[in-house]
């Protein structure tokens, strides 16, 4: 108890030594060592700064290039080629059920006139289309078409049938709190409050939103697949749709913050469990040591 205290107040000698350590006279070996340490620190700092700058530049570069890249992805370059390529894909994979003028085929598939590229994106991107066999509900599968082919199908069906188009820009640029409210009001009754999905009457189900990316959610709202209502821009403005997407994706990101979910009853209960279990273990340890003594 007394030793550390004594040394820290220790007058002249300790004091001088401390001073000496911090400021060695120039030219001494100690000063050289200090300079080396400093320059090492500087180099390390410079490395970190360099790394940060590189990261930021990569990010900026990527975000600047990404839209351009996806536009350039449309290898066909001009839109009419995309429509033409889309017609071929359609003829090969869709025409038997949706007809040669998108008018639909009795007993096989509905008309695609007016469904727009949004519905095509949704159906093909989630692997629901092309339907392989008639079922109560087209199942989700990995998409069998590439992004580029999906764009071509979209272009063809948009060109010939018209309908809702896909949005652009940041699909999460909406208010989180408003999104939560709108989600509970418009979506939770079928998809569950946590977006986990649920059974509907008639043997159908509303799927979990776990896998859905921003554009899938947007295009689902625009096209209203199966039993889901269409949320046109009169029902939910584009901004409200973005709020909902922001909410759904934020919710998903928060689903599993690590640790046991304990029924997702929330942080208070988790804290309580840690408290009870942790303190219990501690008490047990204390009593155990007590009996040993």
Binding residues for ligand HEC, rule: CB under 6 A, are: 93-94, 96-98, 108-110, 112, 115, 119-120, 123-124, 126, 128-131, 137-138, 140, 153, 186-187, 189-191, 200, 204, 206-207, 209, 211-212, 216-217, 220-221, 223, 225-229, 231, 244
**Smallest separation (angstroms) from ligand HEC to the CB of 184:** 10
3-state secondary structure of 105: strand
If the CB atoms of residues 85 and 220 are measured against ligand HEC, the closer one turns out to be 220
If the CB atoms of residues 30 and 190 are measured against ligand HEC, the closer one turns out to be 190
**Smallest separation (angstroms) from ligand HEC to the CB of 193:** 12
If the CB atoms of residues 97 and 194 are measured against ligand HEC, the closer one turns out to be 97
Q: DSSP string spanning 198-248?
A: EE-STT-EEPPSTT--HHHHHHHHHH--TTSPP--TTTS-HHHHHHHHHHH
If the CB atoms of residues 81 and 145 are measured against ligand HEC, the closer one turns out to be 145
**Smallest separation (angstroms) from ligand HEC to the CB of 160:** 12
For 225, counting Cβ atoms within 10 Å of its Cβ (0-12 exposed, 13-18 middle, 19+ buried), the class is middle
If the CB atoms of residues 180 and 207 are measured against ligand HEC, the closer one turns out to be 207
Phi, psi of 181 (to 5 degrees): -65, -45
**Smallest separation (angstroms) from ligand HEC to the CB of 229:** 6
Angle made by CA atoms 218, 199, 250, in degrees to the nearest 5: 40
**Smallest separation (angstroms) from ligand HEC to the CB of 134:** 6
**Smallest separation (angstroms) from ligand HEC to the CB of 70:** 20
Distance CA 224, CA 141 (A): 18
Distance CA 159, CA 153 (A): 10
Segments in the chain forming alpha helices (H):
2-9, 12-22, 29-73, 79-93, 95-98, 116-125, 147-161, 176-186, 188-191, 214-223, 238-254, 267-292
CB 221 within 8 A of CB 233: no
If the CB atoms of residues 140 and 147 are measured against ligand HEC, the closer one turns out to be 140
**Looking up tokens 């500087």, which residue turns up?**
42
If the CB atoms of residues 87 and 191 are measured against ligand HEC, the closer one turns out to be 191
**Smallest separation (angstroms) from ligand HEC to the CB of 75:** 19
If the CB atoms of residues 35 and 100 are measured against ligand HEC, the closer one turns out to be 100
Q: What is the CA radius of gyration of the chain?
A: 32
Distance CA 149, CA 85 (A): 8
Secondary structure (H, E, C), 74-94: CCCCCHHHHHHHHHHHHHHHC
**Smallest separation (angstroms) from ligand HEC to the CB of 253:** 16
């Amino acid at each position: 108890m007394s030793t550390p205290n004594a040394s820290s107040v220790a007058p002249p000698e300790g004091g001088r030594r401390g001073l000496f350590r911090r400021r060695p006279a120039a030219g001494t070996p100690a000063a050289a060592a200090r300079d080396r340490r400093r320059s090492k620190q500087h180099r390390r700092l410079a490395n970190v700064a360099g790394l940060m700058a590189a990261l930021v530049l990569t990010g900026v570069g990527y975000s600047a290039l990404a839209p351009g890249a996806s536009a350039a992805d449309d290898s066909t370059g001009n839109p009419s080629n995309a429509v033409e390529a889309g017609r071929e894909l359609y003829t090969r994979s869709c025409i038997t059920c949706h007809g040669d003028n998108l008018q639909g085929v009795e007993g096989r598939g509905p008309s695609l006139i007016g469904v727009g590229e949004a519905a095509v994106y949704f159906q093909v991107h989630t692997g629901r289309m092309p339907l392989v066999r008639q079922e109560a509900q087209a199942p989700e599968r990995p998409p069998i078409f590439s992004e580029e082919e999906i764009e071509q199908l979209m272009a063809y069906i948009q060109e010939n049938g018209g309908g809702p188009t896909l949005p652009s820009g940041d699909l999460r640029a909406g208010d989180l709190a408003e999104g939560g409210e709108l989600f509970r009001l418009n979506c939770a009754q079928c998809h569950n409050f946590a977006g986990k999905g649920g059974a509907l009457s008639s043997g159908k189900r509303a799927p979990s939103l776990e896998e859905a990316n921003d554009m899938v959610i947007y295009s689902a709202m625009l096209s209203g697949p199966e039993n889901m209502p269409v949320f046109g821009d009169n029902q939910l403005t584009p901004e409200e749709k973005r709020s909902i997407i922001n909410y759904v994706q934020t919710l998903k990101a928060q689903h599993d913050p690590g640790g046991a979910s304990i029924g997702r009853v929330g942080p208070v209960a988790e804290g309580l469990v840690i408290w009870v279990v942790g303190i219990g273990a501690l008490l047990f340890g204390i009593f155990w040591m007590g009996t040993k003594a």
